[in-house]
Structures are given as structure tokens and as C-alpha cells.
């Protein structure tokens, strides 16, 4: 059951998968730049970065960098998209609801990312992804076993 959720059957047309690919590439690249910026200015940010859920500034910044840098690379590749969007959704949920107190326009960017990542979590990566290739390989191996 978990396998079918992570690597669902792809009955969608190529147009929808191209749109999902475009969304993954654009929002993944944009999110990645936030992570790179935080990595480059780590020591400067550390003193003023908010502590969320009692983790402390250092741990909160490290988790944020993981979400923005590492998870976005997986998203761009289309690898484990449904797993990798979970920390991204949580990070943007915390950013919007806790850091920005769900206020607009201050939290607008976090809200946009949150909505896009929820949509990608629900739709999956589409045909043009590593997940799709893994699924096709696994299906062909199952057919060969029978």
C-alpha cells in the first residue's frame, strides 16, 4: 500500500506531467536559492534566526537549510517527492503560521510555497521524474517474477 502511494500509477496525460515538471523545476530552484543563501550567510543569520518549537536558533537554521537546500534537490529530480515535500510543507507551515503569524503580505511567500508543496504532495511527481522510472523498473521486475 505504501509503495502504491509513493509510486502511483500514472494515468495522467503528458501535458499534466509536463506542467508538474515545470512546477517542480521552478519552485524547486527558487526554494534551493533560499537554502544556498542561508548556507552562505550562516554565521550572520545564526545570531538573529528565530528559535522554533524550542529547538534553538542553530538547530532551527540547520533544519531550514536541509528543507530548502536538500529537499529542493530531490524535488527538482523528482526523487521521493512525496516524502521530501513533507519537511518542506512543515517548514513553510511554521514560517507562515509561527514566524509571520499568518499575516499577509509578510508571510505571502511562505504561503505560496506551502500551497505549491501541498499540491505537489497530493499530485506526486508526474511522469518526468526519477520516481516514475523507479516505478516502471519495479513493475517490470514484478512481471518477470510472475
Radius of gyration of the chain (CA): 17
- pLDDT (mean) for 69-91: 97
* pLDDT of 146: 67
DSSP label at 146? -
Comparing 60-64, 70-74, 122-126, the range with the smallest average pLDDT is 122-126
CB neighbours of residue 110 within 10 Å: 20
Asked if 110 and 90 touch (Cβ cutoff 8 Å), the reply is: no
pLDDT confidence of residue 144: 82
Query: What pLDDT is attached to residue 10?
Result: 56
Q: Is the pLDDT of residue 11 over 60?
A: no
- What are the phi and psi torsion angles at 47 (to 5°)? -70, -25
What are the sequence ranges of the domains in the chain? 14-145
The residues, ordered by sequence, that sit 6+ positions from 33 with a Cβ below 8 Å of its Cβ are none
Q: Residue 9 — very low, low, confident or very high, per pLDDT cuts 50/70/90? A: low
CA distance linking residue 25 with residue 19, whole number of Å: 10
Q: How confident is the model at residue 105 (pLDDT cuts 50, 70, 90)?
A: very high
Q: Mean pLDDT across the stretch 72-78?
A: 97
pLDDT at residue 39 above 80? yes
SS3 per residue for 3-47: HHHHCCCCCCCHHHHHHHHHHHHHHHHHHHHHHHHHHHCHHHHHC
| 111 has pLDDT over 90 | yes
Collapse the DSSP code of 145 into the 3-class scheme (helix H, G, I; strand E, B; otherwise coil) and give the result. helix
Whole-angstrom distance, CA of residue 146 vs CA of residue 141: 9
Amino acid at each position: 500500500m505504501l509503495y502504491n502511494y509513493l509510486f502511483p500509477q500514472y494515468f495522467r496525460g503528458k501535458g499534466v506531467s509536463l506542467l508538474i515538471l515545470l512546477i517542480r523545476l521552478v519552485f524547486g530552484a527558487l526554494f534551493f536559492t533560499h537554502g544556498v543563501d542561508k548556507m552562505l550567510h550562516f554565521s550572520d543569520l545564526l545570531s538573529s534566526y528565530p528559535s522554533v518549537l524550542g529547538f534553538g536558533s542553530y538547530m532551527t537554521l540547520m533544519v531550514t537549510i536541509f528543507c530548502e537546500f536538500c529537499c529542493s534537490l530531490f524535488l527538482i529530480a523528482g526523487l521521493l517527492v512525496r516524502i521530501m515535500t513533507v519537511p518542506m510543507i512543515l517548514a513553510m507551515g511554521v514560517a507562515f503560521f509561527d514566524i509571520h503569524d499568518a499575516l499577509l503580505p509578510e508571510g505571502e511567500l511562505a504561503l505560496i510555497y506551502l500551497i505549491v508543496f501541498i499540491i505537489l504532495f497530493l499530485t506526486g511527481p508526474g511522469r518526468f521524474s526519477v520516481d516514475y522510472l523507479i516505478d516502471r523498473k519495479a513493475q517490470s521486475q514484478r512481471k518477470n517474477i510472475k
